[in-house]
């Protein structure tokens, strides 16, 4: 294991999680590494969050250099990368 990726597992209760709005709905940060990094500064190595999408149409926040894995838990969602491709996501 890389030394700079060493971390401990910590229980973070729901009332301690940070929830914020974005142009498509609400997002809750479940975990971020390193612990004291801040999403808005983009100084994290990895982040796990859960979003509740309310808008019929919205744009993703630009995160150059960040690889995203998106999983739908309920309902479905279509992602359109304008002039490139489109994909319909269903639960799991």
Average pLDDT over residues 16-37: 90
- Give the residue-averaged pLDDT of 36-59: 89
Is the overall model pTM greater than 0.85, yes or no?
no
* Whether residue 34 has a cis bond before it, omega within 30° of 0: yes
Burial 24-55 (b: 16+ CB within 10 A, else e): beebebeebeeeeeebeeeebeebeeeeeeee
> Of 45 and 2, which is predicted with more confidence?
45
Question: Which residue do the tokens 């309902």 mark?
Answer: 75
**The pLDDT value given to residue 4:** 66
């Amino acid at each position: 294991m890389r030394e700079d990726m060493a971390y401990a597992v910590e229980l973070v209760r729901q009332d301690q999680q940070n929830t914020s709005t974005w142009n498509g709905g609400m997002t809750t940060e479940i975990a971020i590494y390193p612990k004291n990094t801040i999403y808005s500064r983009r100084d994290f190595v990895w982040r796990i969050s859960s979003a509740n999408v309310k808008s019929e149409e919205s744009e993703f926040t630009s995160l150059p250099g960040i690889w995203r894995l998106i999983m739908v838990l309920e309902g479905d969602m279509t992602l359109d990368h304008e002039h490139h491709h489109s994909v319909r996501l269903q639960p799991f």
